[in-house]
Amino acid sequence: MKPPLLQVEDLHVWFDLPDGRELHAVRGVSLRVAEGERFGLVGESGCGKTTTILALMGLLPPTASVAGRVVLGGEDMLARGERTLAPHRWRDVAMVFQGAMNAFNPVRRIGAQLVEPMELHGVAEGAAARRRAGELLERVGIPAARANAYPHEFSGGMRQRAAIAMALACNPKLLLADEPTTALDVMVQAQIMELLVALTNELGLALVLVTHDLPIVAQTCKTAAVMYAGELAETGPVETLYHEPRHPYTRLLFAATPDLDDVEGEVVAIPGAPPRLDRPIEGCPFRPRCDRAFAACVNAPRLVAVGDGHLAACHLNAGVAA
Amino acid sequence: MTTAELVEAPPVPVAPPSFFTRLRRSPVLSSRQALVGLGILLLFVLTGIFGPIALPHDASLKVGPVFQSPSLAHPLGTDGGGADMLYLLIDGASVSLLVGFAAAAVSAVIGGLVGLLAGFFGGRTDIALMRLTDYFLVIPDIPLMIVVAALFGRSLTNIILIIGAIYWTSTARLIRAQTKTVRERVYVRRARALGAGNTRLIVRHVLPQVTPLLIANTVLLIAYAIFAETFITFLGLGDPSKISWGRLIENAFQDDAILNNAWWAIVPPGLAVTVVVLACTMTGQAMEDAMNPRLRAGHLSVRRFRLRRWPPGSP
């Protein structure tokens, strides 16, 4: 079997709080993403999804400290922090930011802003870079002539497309998309997702899709990981997660998604809120909200294999390991 | 009864952090610069309040020969009138600090009001008030002080009002700029849509947002005001019946302290002014750093995360 394109092992992120304490935002996340794979990272707000991928990009603020291994194509990008990460940023790993519609400088033309990463990373310059900017726009479904437009002349969906074009500027192997469809209407959402799927298919790009929108993950991704309180609750093929969840959080998360075929069925919310991360968590972090918590849950569960490529961190799986 | 089930599990009450906890965590008090500045200020304020009461006799009483050098009985020597310099210095602190704080308060009120009104209403109000501000900004301050002192007499109140009336311009411009940004925030527009009047909008929604900046600016103004009081009094325009640090320097100058080699009559009041001005500047700047988002460039310095060994102790 080929080694995975991206291998994250035991990634931790801490943030310094102003009062001297720490917030342990990402608590030992391990992921594998194969070449050309579409991988979904789902979870509630504040569970560490965005922090995880910002750590992969090395874009965390000075208040953050990071530990763990992030192996891309055989090389540990985090080995010496920024020094080993910088050569890969945008060249190998590119990102579509959350709220990317607002990620453009309002007073510069879209084309000029697309040229910027190419020149910074020595991919193309001058006329060649401008030609490439036009090609990238065409690639995401915007006429090349629109490179002369200003961001405010684009609609929200077009700006999101342009943001994707910018992520493609240096031919990355891995694209990180942070909530790429938030704040877009459903039609545009569908088009953006179609575009991302087409790009991964045609360019052989791997995609890590961060979202809280489960149906989108179910439609586009082959594998997914469910995050809770900075940890992985469960990871595996999307189909398996949907039909045979082995962690109550995954099950409740899918149950909390309204179903079009079953309009009579109730949408069930998960009561309570995720635990605070600025203090140690004892036992299973989901225990206070779990409908099936039992005595063993006072001990923190480990992520164990429960099926083919399917891992879950829940004591209910004790004795049914694959 | 179903309501019983609903109240069965009350949420664990989380007490809001106490006043002292919030004080300890505030960005101003966690800065060493601000702590040192505040400490020095507190020391001088306490001296100014309790010092004159604690003195055994009137500070200007003749206690020894003229320009006696420092001794055990008079640690800072005596001035040109034979009065104890240390007592004079303590007595002067109350006047100097009173003028400083009061004049800064006058400045803050005028500047805050002008800035709030100009920033909030904009348009013609803004133009009129800002041109007025420009006018005050270009008035040469020392000649104006001399003229006002000559016209209205040399009293403490007049000095406070003159200083306050001259130094409010920078406050007005700062508050105006901040008000303009706050006014456009969504919650202010929402409050207006809900029917809040201008007074309510300014008092409830805009003022709380600009107050921290106003306070920081006022602390910086105290430094200017104390300095201004010193040089006004040195120029002989101060209240003749009150002893302040400026008066001490003026007296020393009039009595030819330099010719008598009496450094102790000049240096201590000058040093006191310097230290208080420095303390105000340190405190005010630390407060401004903590509150003015434009001075905080931290968010621009991306990619400075640190690596950590994990688990602790691994190679």
Domain presence at residue B64: no
* Residue A201: Cβ-neighbour burial (10 angstroms; 0-12, 13-18, 19+): exposed
CA B129 to chain A, closest CA, distance in angstroms equals: 32
The Cα of B301 is separated from the nearest Cα of chain A by a number of Å equal to: 7
User: Given this model, what pLDDT does residue B175 score?
Assistant: 93
> For residue B279, which of B96, B80, B147, B146 has the smallest C-alpha distance?
B96
> Per mean pLDDT, which of A143-152, A310-319, B53-62 is the most reliable?
A143-152
Contact in structure between A207 and A177 (CB atoms under 8 Å): yes
Q: Is residue B304 part of a domain?
A: no
Q: How many domains does chain B have?
A: 1
Asked if A80's CB is within 8 angstroms of B25's CB, the reply is no
Distance from CA of B132 to the nearest CA of A (A): 34
B19 interface with A at CB cutoff 8 Å: no
Of A61, A64, A67, which is closest to B310 when you measure between CB atoms?
A67
Helices B207-234 and B267-291 cross at an angle (nearest 10°) of: 160
Q: Which of these, A189, A185, A191, A108, lies nearest to A153 by C-alpha position?
A: A108
If you average pLDDT over residues A103-109, what whole number do you get?
84
Cα–Cα dist A76/A70, whole Å: 5
Round to whole Å and give the CA distance between B91 and B241.
12
- Across the interface, whether the CB atoms of B304 and A62 are under 8 A apart is answered yes
With CB atoms and an 8 Å threshold, state whether A65 touches B306.
yes
Closest chain B residue to A20, measured at CA: B25
Structural domain contains residue B116: yes
Residues of chain B with pLDDT under 50: 1-10, 297-302
Compute the nearest-CA separation of A135 from chain B (Å).
Answer: 30
Q: Closest Cα to residue A70, out of A6, A27, A12, A3?
A: A6
B124 touches A: beta carbon within 8 Å: no
Domain that holds residue B227: 29-51+86-292
pLDDT of the residue at B101: 92
Q: Does residue B272 form part of some domain? A: yes
Judge if pTM exceeds 0.95. no
Please check whether residue B198 lies inside any domain of the structure. Answer: yes
Q: Please give the distance of CA A226 from its chain centroid, rounded to a whole number.
A: 11
Q: Which residues pair with A207 in a beta bridge?
A: A38, A175
Domain borders along chain A are: 6-92+173-274, 104-171
User: Is residue B69 a part of any domain in this protein?
Assistant: no
Lowest mean pLDDT among A14-28, A55-69, B218-232, B285-299: B285-299
In a domain, B219, yes or no: yes
The contact set of A with B (CB < 8 A) is 10, 12, 14, 18-19, 55, 58-62, 64-68, 78, 80-82, 85-86
How many angstroms away from the CA of A177 is the closest CA of chain B? Answer: 19
Is some CB atom of chain A closer than 8 A to the CB atom of B56?
no
The phi and psi torsions of A276 (rounded to 5 degrees) equal -75, 140
Residue found by looking up tokens 């750590």 in the block: A55
Which of B25, B289, B306, B309 to mutate: most A Cβ within 10 Å?
B306
Lowest model confidence (mean pLDDT) among A10-14, A256-260, A289-293, B282-286 = A256-260
Minimal Cα distance from B309: which residue of A? A67
pLDDT for res A176: 94
Residue A45: φ, ψ to 5°: -60, 140
ipTM (interface pTM): 0.71
Chain A residues near residue B305 by CB distance under 8 angstroms: 55, 58, 60-62, 64-66, 81-82
Q: Is residue B101 part of a domain?
A: yes
Q: Judge whether B309 is closer than 8 Å to chain A, CB to CB.
A: yes
Give 3-state DSSP helix, strand, coil % of chain A, rounded to 5: 35, 25, 45
Helix, strand, coil fractions of chain B, as percent rounded to 5:
70, 0, 30
CATH number of the domain where residue B284 is located: 1.10.3720.10
Q: d(Cα A66, Cα A11) in Å, to the nearest integer?
A: 7
**Residues facing A29 on adjacent strands:** A11
* Helix and strand numbers, DSSP H then E, in chain B: 12, 1
pLDDT at A45 over 70: yes
Domain range A6-92+173-274, its CATH number among 3.40.50.1980, 3.40.50.300, 3.40.50.720, 1.10.3470.10 = 3.40.50.300
